[in-house]
Amino acid sequence: MDEYQTPEPVPFRLGLAGEETLDSRGIRSVAYKVDGMLHLDRDNLTLEWAVDRHTESIGLGGVKTDVEKFDYEDLVVPLSWLMEARLTRFPRRLRLRAKHLDAFEGVPGEKPGRIALKIRRSDRHRAAAMVRAINLARVQALEYTDPGLLVEGETPPSGTH
């Protein structure tokens, strides 16, 4: 097996729906911003993120803006839990699909067993390298445990035998 090289972390954003309310006290708009970083080590993916909540209130007393920053959070997902990692162009997302519905539980914007990380255009090459590294690590882990798991006629990625 080739010497393992850790890919650079990939910055991402998560989309969360905001909320607006209108009542006798005025108008209140809440928006969320979630910035994060995706890391890969030999056996695990680590997602770390921070949430900012921006609240704007308009009422008889005027306009009030409040920004609340929440503590950083993280989640470690074993590579053995992943079924798929891919990068899409439009929209530009690094999409992860897991074998377990609760694999990304707690990450803002996750759906059962999957998550889509928004990637800036300037980070697309870094994200592509991450997807390649994730998929290579998954294949190497499968071959390590059972070399017969490759589809007949497929060639394993270079450096795995």
- For 62, phi then psi, to 5°, come to 115, -160
Mean pLDDT of 84-109: 96
The share of the chain scoring above pLDDT 90, in percent, equals 78
Mean pLDDT of the chain: 89
Contact call for residues 117 and 104 (beta carbons, < 8 A): no
Which pLDDT does position 5 carry in this prediction? Answer: 77
Confidence band, pLDDT 50/70/90 cuts, at residue 143: low
Confidence band, pLDDT 50/70/90 cuts, at residue 26: very high
Distance CA 71, CA 110 (A): 18
pTM assigned to the model: 0.82
Q: Please give the structure tokens belonging to residue 97.
A: 């699909």
Mean pLDDT of 34-42: 96
Which pLDDT does position 145 carry in this prediction? Answer: 55
Which pLDDT does position 1 carry in this prediction? Answer: 43
Q: Please give the structure tokens belonging to residue 90.
A: 């439009």
Which pLDDT does position 160 carry in this prediction? Answer: 47
Which pLDDT does position 42 carry in this prediction? Answer: 83
Mean pLDDT of 123-138: 95
Query: Quick check: 155 pLDDT over 60?
Result: no
Annotate the chain with DSSP letters as a single string. -PPP-PPPPEEEEE----EEEEETTEEEEEEEEEEEEEEE-SSEEEEEEEEEEEEEEEETTEEEEEEEEPPPEEEEEEGGGEEEEEEETTTTEEEEEESSTTTTTTSTT-BTTEEEEE--GGGHHHHHHHHHHHHHHHHHHHHHH-GGGSPTTPPPPTT--
